[in-house]
Amino acid sequence: MPGLIDAHWHTMLLSLPAEVALFTDLGFFNLLAGANAQATLSRSEVMGASIVADGVPEVQRRVREQLALGASQVKLTAGGGVSSPGPLGITAFSDAELRAAVEAARNWGTYVTVHAYSTASVQQAIDAGVPVIDHGHLIDDATAKLMAAKGIWWSLQPFLDDEDRAPQPDPVRNAEHREVIAGTDRAYALAKKYGVKTAFGTDILFDARLTKRQGAQLTKMVRWYTPAQVLKMATGDNGQLLALSGLRNPYPGKLGVVEKGALADLLLVDGNPFENIKLLENPDKNLLVIMKDGQIFKNLPGQ
């Protein structure tokens, strides 16, 4: 099968609790990031955790700066969030600032995605020309319909009140987290109702335990989709999403499919994940061969 793609992955912020990450030595941070990147075979960029930009000129400068440093696309925190500043319902940028970021990225041949949960922040981003929404768990019916009509990608995550729910540091964050979780089922229902282009991602943050549950988070998607639909989302569909970065695409070839001319990102599974998708919950045991861009990273003896 094609290699799996996680559309919402934090290489630098996976393993350490937030309160530790704020004060950890940068060298140790980089060592952890390297180990996490190797484990998930992700491509890390020259990056910082975040940058504050205020006003149109500064937004333009910061977007261009990140692209010049090698970013393939740019993500803006367009609203509040559980692990980001501000309540869930706020909008963090002006219309002009968002449009400036979209234009700056477009001039480099790529795009802007936004972190946004509420109807207001998602609507504002769509109006500014943003082609990808990350999260969006709290949007209304009309906004989902608009996303489908405009061909906007919806990068949703299966946030549920289960073993993967990370504890929050204070009552306010905990309440907001529960609000997001309560919106998950409805968000997936809206995505299916209107046929919104939907990406799979995990958004694992600040929890070393969850770094080993990437596959398990994928398999829980059968709550809303068939195994075949889940596998298509995490391979070919996510490959289409990554291709939006156009001139900045670090993968100059077709991703997420097994066909002549595509990048050789391949998995050999010990079993049939269409019949038993839970095989992917234990990659150490069940992924016999892992190949990325033609290079074998894992090949169990005897295979």
Q: Supply 142's token pair.
A: 């009309």
Residue 153: which pLDDT band, with cuts at 50, 70 and 90? very high
Residue 15: which pLDDT band, with cuts at 50, 70 and 90? low
How distant is the alpha carbon of residue 31 from its chain centre?
22
Q: Supply 229's token pair.
A: 């639909």
**Distance of alpha carbon 230 from alpha carbon 236, whole angstroms:** 10
Q: CATH code for 18-254?
A: 3.20.20.140
**Distance of alpha carbon 164 from alpha carbon 151, whole angstroms:** 31
pLDDT reading at 26 higher than 90? no
Rounded to 5 degrees, what are φ and ψ at 75?
-115, 130
**Distance of alpha carbon 242 from alpha carbon 220, whole angstroms:** 23
Q: Could you state, in order of their start, the residue ranges of all structural domains in the chain?
A: 18-254
| Token pair 């400036």: residue | 100
What is residue 42's predicted lDDT score, i.e. its pLDDT? 67
pLDDT reading at 44 higher than 70? no
CB 269 within 8 A of CB 5: no
